């Protein structure tokens, strides 16, 4: 990476506030996918520069931010990024613990806090935290052996979901058990890795809430968003104005923000059931279910994440109108018919087409829910 050097001190005459603002200008990001790309894009109007560490030769953030090419645990690269950046953040939670440890030693602002990453990368720690905070979860048990799995099935009942504790996303590393005889095959399928067994939640909707807490302690919450998945992959997200679960979702997200002294955007995914919300997982980062905020909210999740980690005032999380975000999986659709949809905004991530890959999204905005329903129906968007 050329032109990287530690931030030069400003002139001694500059007013203190201006000096602080000038010093907090360089954002270092671990990971260079679409989330880093959209963070960097949101930072440009704020006068921010971004650089990221990613081993991929085709990292899609490279068109809007400078890339340090290297492994996430490459000590020299991490030090280089840290020396250049004023603040470091992440676009994914599976950052190697050595990397977090090394960054912590640099006396640099690293947000969200390492504890939040550690908790959300491990489903057992995450569910344990939910329980400690009084946030409802599915019944769960730690699984380290086939015998423990059989015992947990007896206690929790069936159906149930066996999930690896770490490295699971988009439904990967998960097996649904429907009968007692499924235990052996499920245990083999996850190759005997540390896991948790969860009771199967029969939900009416999957929802998420995007919350943000600044380094100043200021907090804000976006409207509850309904999410539709297919084959474990998010397909459609739609924020709901005055959702009946808004209060509970905010209360749960706030408990997590406060307990972790969190800084940045945090996403909490929940199941809605007739008995109330049940927490599934957190993501300590901007999230796919919040992409609609770019056009659908007064301030996008990306801008608010940057504001939060820089200690700037947070922007309004209010809806501008109705919005729905549709993911483009595998390949981008032709741009012409999409832009012919009233209120459509096209986001290509510049990624090569590949089955199952998130390569872009588009958001449709409208003045009212009724108008949006009509557009989604007319253009067949809800079934994509
Ligand atoms: P996850 O990776 O935990 O987000 O799970 C992926 C998807 O699997 C979720 O979006 C749900 O549709 C489904 N799922 C996960 N856990 C459960 C559960 N305990 N009960 C019912 N469905 C689940």
Angle value at C-alpha 246, between 241 and 249, nearest 5 degrees: 145
Does residue 15 register a pLDDT over 60? no
The mean pLDDT of 17-37, rounded to a whole number, is 82
d(CA 229, ligand 1 centre) in Å: 10
d(CA 376, ligand 1 centre) in Å: 26
Q: Are residues 87 and 189 in the same domain?
A: no
The mean pLDDT of 351-360, rounded to a whole number, is 96
What is the tens place of the pLDDT at every residue in 311-331? 999 999 999 999 999 999 999
* 3-class SS of residue 90: strand
Per the CB < 8 A criterion, the answer to whether 121 and 194 are in contact is: no
d(CA 15, ligand 1 centre) in Å: 52
Extended beta strands in 70-159, E state: 87-90, 109-110, 140-143
Q: Closest Cα partner for 329 from 233, 205, 261, 242?
A: 233
Q: Are residues 239 and 307 in the same domain?
A: yes
Q: Are residues 212 and 338 in the same domain?
A: yes
Q: Would you say the CB of residue 171 lies under 6 angstroms from ligand 1?
A: yes
CA dihedral 277→282→286→287, nearest 10 degrees, is -60
324 CB-side CA count, 13 A = 25
What is the tens place of the pLDDT at every residue in 223-236? 999 999 998 899 99
Per-residue confidence band for 167, with pLDDT thresholds at 50, 70 and 90:
confident
pLDDT of residue 7: 38
The best mutation among 121, 160, 161, 230 to test binding of ligand 1, ranked by most ligand atoms within 8 Å of the C-beta, falls on 161
- Is 127 contained in some domain? no
Nearest-CA residue for atom 17 of ligand 1? 200
Question: Across all residues in the chain, what is the average pLDDT?
Answer: 92
Which range (9-13, 168-172, 256-260, 308-312) has the least confidence?
Answer: 9-13
What is the tens place of the pLDDT at every residue in 120-161? 999 999 999 999 999 999 999 999 999 999 999 999 999 999
Per-residue confidence band for 11, with pLDDT thresholds at 50, 70 and 90:
very low
At which of 199, 221, 237 does a domain end?
199
Does residue 12 register a pLDDT over 70? no
Q: Are residues 187 and 214 in the same domain?
A: no
Model confidence pTM above 0.85: yes
- Is 338 contained in some domain? yes
Instruction: Give the CATH number of the domain where residue 286 resides.
Output: 3.30.470.20
Q: Are residues 232 and 369 in the same domain?
A: yes
Does residue 22 register a pLDDT over 70? no
pLDDT of residue 169: 65
Q: Are residues 174 and 323 in the same domain?
A: no
d(CA 136, ligand 1 centre) in Å: 15
- Is 133 contained in some domain? no
Q: Would you say the CB of residue 272 lies under 6 angstroms from ligand 1?
A: no
At which of 86, 120, 154 does a domain end?
120
- Is 43 contained in some domain? yes
Percent with pLDDT over 70 in the chain: 92
Q: Are residues 42 and 154 in the same domain?
A: no
Instruction: Give the CATH number of the domain where residue 47 resides.
Output: 3.40.50.20
- Is 315 contained in some domain? yes
At which of 179, 199, 219 does a domain end?
199
- Is 232 contained in some domain? yes
Q: Would you say the CB of residue 161 lies under 6 angstroms from ligand 1?
A: yes
What is the tens place of the pLDDT at every residue in 356-380? 999 999 999 999 999 999 999 999 8
Q: Are residues 284 and 365 in the same domain?
A: yes
Question: Domains in the chain: how many in total?
Answer: 3
Per the CB < 8 A criterion, the answer to whether 64 and 37 are in contact is: yes
DSSP secondary structure of 295-361 = HHBSS-HHHHHHHHHHTPPPPP--BSSEEEEEEEESSPPPHHHHHTSTTEEEEE--PPP-TT-EEEE
Per-residue confidence band for 23, with pLDDT thresholds at 50, 70 and 90:
low
Q: Are residues 251 and 334 in the same domain?
A: yes
Q: Are residues 152 and 212 in the same domain?
A: no
What is the tens place of the pLDDT at every residue in 28-60? 999 999 999 999 999 999 999 999 999 999 999
Q: Which atom of ligand 1 is nearest to the CA of 200?
A: 20
Show the tokens assigned to 145. 């052996």
Cα 191 from Cα 340, distance rounded (Å): 48
Extended beta strands in the chain, E state: 26-30, 49-54, 66-69, 87-90, 109-110, 140-143, 160-164, 174-177, 195-199, 205-213, 219-221, 225-230, 233-239, 264-273, 276-283, 322-329, 344-348, 358-366
Show the tokens assigned to 161. 């979901």
Q: Are residues 246 and 326 in the same domain?
A: yes
Q: Are residues 168 and 230 in the same domain?
A: no
d(CA 171, ligand 1 centre) in Å: 7
φ, ψ for residue 46 (rounded to 5)?
A: -85, 0
Cα 275 from Cα 188, distance rounded (Å): 34
Q: How far is CA 123 from the centre of its chain?
A: 15
Q: Would you say the CB of residue 126 lies under 6 angstroms from ligand 1?
A: no
Q: How many residues does the chain have?
A: 384
pLDDT of residue 102: 85
Residues spanned by the domain of 154: 139-199
Burial of 52 (0-12, 13-18, 19+ CB in 10 A): buried
- Is 229 contained in some domain? yes
Does residue 95 register a pLDDT over 60? yes
- Is 3 contained in some domain? no
Task: List C-alpha distances in Å: 351 to 32, 58, 151, 334.
Answer: 12, 8, 45, 15
The mean pLDDT of 16-36, rounded to a whole number, is 80
How many other CB atoms sit within 10 Å of the CB of residue 8? Answer: 8
Q: Would you say the CB of residue 232 lies under 6 angstroms from ligand 1?
A: yes
């Amino acid at each position: 990476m050329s032109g990287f050097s530690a931030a030069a001190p400003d002139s001694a005459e500059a007013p203190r506030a201006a000096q602080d603002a000038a010093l907090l200008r360089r954002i270092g990001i671990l990971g260079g996918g679409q989330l880093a790309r959209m963070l960097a894009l949101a930072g440009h109007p704020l006068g921010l520069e971004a650089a990221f560490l990613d081993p991929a030769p085709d990292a899609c953030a490279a068109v809007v931010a400078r890339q340090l090419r290297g492994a996430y645990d490459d000590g020299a690269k991490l030090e280089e990024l840290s020396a250049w950046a004023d603040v470091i953040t992440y676009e994914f939670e599976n950052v190697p613990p050595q990397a977090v440890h090394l960054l912590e030693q640099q006396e640099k602002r690293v947000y969200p806090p390492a504890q939040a990453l550690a908790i959300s990368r491990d489903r057992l720690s995450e569910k344990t935290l939910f329980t400690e905070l009084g946030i409802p979860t599915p019944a769960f048990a730690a699984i380290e052996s086939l015998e423990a799995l059989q015992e947990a099935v007896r206690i929790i009942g069936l159906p149930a979901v066996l999930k690896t504790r770490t490295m699971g996303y988009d439904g990967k590393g998960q097996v649904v058990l429907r009968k007692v005889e499924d235990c052996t095959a499920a245990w083999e399928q996850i190759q005997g890795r540390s896991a948790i067994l969860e009771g199967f939640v029969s939900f009416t909707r999957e929802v998420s809430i995007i919350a943000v807490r600044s380094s100043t302690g200021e907090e804000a919450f976006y409207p509850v968003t309904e999410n539709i998945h297919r084959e474990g992959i998010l397909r459609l997200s739609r924020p709901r104005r005055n959702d009946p679960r808004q209060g509970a979702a905010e209360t749960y997200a706030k408990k997590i923000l406060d307990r972790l002294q969190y800084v940045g955007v945090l996403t909490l995914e929940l199941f809605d059931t007739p008995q109330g919300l049940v927490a599934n997982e957190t993501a300590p980062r901007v999230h796919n279910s919040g992409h609609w905020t770019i056009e659908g909210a007064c301030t996008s999740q990306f801008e608010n994440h940057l504001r939060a980690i820089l200690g700037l005032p947070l922007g309004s999380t209010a809806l501008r109108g109705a919005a729905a975000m549709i993911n483009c999986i595998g390949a981008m659709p032709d741009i012409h018919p999409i832009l012919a949809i009233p209120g459509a905004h096209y986001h290509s991530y510049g990624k090569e087409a590949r089955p199952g890959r998130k390569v872009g999204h588009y958001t449709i905005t409208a003045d009212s829910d009724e108008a949006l329903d009509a557009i989604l129906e007319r253009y067949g968007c809800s079934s994509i």
